[in-house]
Amino acid sequence: MIRIRNLWKRYGSNDVLKGLNLDVNEGEILVILGRSGVGKSVLLRQIIGIEKPDQGTVEVGGVMISSLKKKELFQAVKQMGMLFQSSALFDSMNVEENTIFYLKQHGKPPTGTPYSIQELEALIVKSLNMVGLLDARKKMPSDLSGGMRKRAGLARLIAYRPHILLYDEPTTGLDPITAQQINELIVSTQEELNGTSIVVTHDINSALYIADRIALHRDGQIVHVAPPDEFLKIDEPIINFLRETLELKKRKPKKK
């Protein structure tokens, strides 16, 4: 479904992606783990075509995203949606306007027929309900908590119904209960849309819950990819650390 080959990206003298290779299979949820600053967000931006790599290729569903010109790119990335790390809500629009912005702009795929007001209302209600934000539909982004912003971004993604879903840190900064609700939404959205998802996270619990496979991004490359059970057995400092944090949790001493 997604094939990334020999991807290079540098900013000034900072080589971020250094010949990265990655395959994402149709219908899977691939989780990418990696330390802060390794280039996970940069990688997502190359996949969705917001930025062009210096070298290498990104192929999505047989289309070479990395070499398309603006107009073709726009068509090709219509099937993709992304939850940005910062949520990227439009500050001048309230929650419900943010939710349906793209739908109003682009109409129904593939023809672009405009949605009726009733259809838009149904989509608002459905997607804001899914993230527990229906009561906040008239609020402006500046009046939302960080977790609510994240959920509003997720509602917008769900309403858009793309087949390829990219999530940048969907659970970071959320309380454990909300984080688990988001995990469940990622899985249910994937199933409902028959989608393919890439989820960047630092949250190992989230990764274990949602992932079909987990990838480790380190030194500008994907250095391991494996199903969760196998991934946790890999002898690699970062993975050893993650395994230990999971074991620590299990070994909480009982209070007397």
Ligand X SMILES: Nc1ncnc2c1ncn2[C@@H]1O[C@H](COP(=O)(O)OP(=O)(O)OP(=O)(O)O)[C@@H](O)[C@H]1O
Q: Given the complex with ligand X, which of 95 and 174 has the nearer CB atom?
A: 174
Judged by CB under 6 A, the number of residues near ligand X is: 12
Q: Rounded distance, CA 174 to CA 245, Å?
A: 19
**What's the closest the beta carbon of residue 44 comes to Mg ion, in angstroms?**
8
End-to-end alpha carbon distance in the chain: 54
- Region label for 19, one of left (φ > 0), alpha (ψ between -120 and 50) or beta (otherwise): left
**Least Cβ distance, residue 39 to Mg ion (angstroms):** 8
Minimum distance from residue 85 beta carbon to Mg ion (Å): 5
Q: CA 93, CA 109: separation in Å to the nearest integer? A: 23
Angstrom CA distances, 248 to 34, 180, 227, 235, 243, stand at 20, 20, 22, 18, 9
Say which amino acid occupies 54. Answer: D
3-class SS of residue 193: helix
Nearest-approach distance from CB 135 to Mg ion, in angstroms: 30
42 binds, among ligand X, Mg ion, none (CB under 5 to 8 A by kind): ligand X
* x/- map, 22-51, ligand X, by CB under 6 A: ------------x-xxxxxxx---------
Residue 224 host element (H or E): strand 221-226
* Minimum CB distance to Mg ion smaller for 85 or for 180: 85
Query: x/- string (CB under 6 A) for ligand X, residues 83-122?
Result: --x-------------------------------------
Q: Among residues 11 and 241, whose Cβ is nearest to ligand X?
A: 11
Query: Which residue, 41 or 180, has its beta carbon nearer to Mg ion?
Result: 41
Q: Which does 239 bind (CB under 5 to 8 A by kind): Mg ion, ligand X, none?
A: none
For 232, phi then psi, to 5°, come to -65, -15
CA distances from 143 to 154, 181, 241 (A): 17, 22, 37
Give the span between the Cα atoms of 188 and 193, in whole angstroms. 9
- Within 164-223, the residues that bind ligand X by CB under 6 A are none
Task: State the residues that interact with Mg ion by CB under 5 A.
Answer: 41, 85
Of 40 and 213, which CB lies nearer to Mg ion in the complex structure?
40
Could you say which of ligand X, Mg ion, none residue 141 binds, taking C-beta under 5 to 8 angstroms by partner kind? none
Residues at the contact surface with ligand X, assessed by CB under 6 A: 11, 14, 16, 34, 36-42, 85
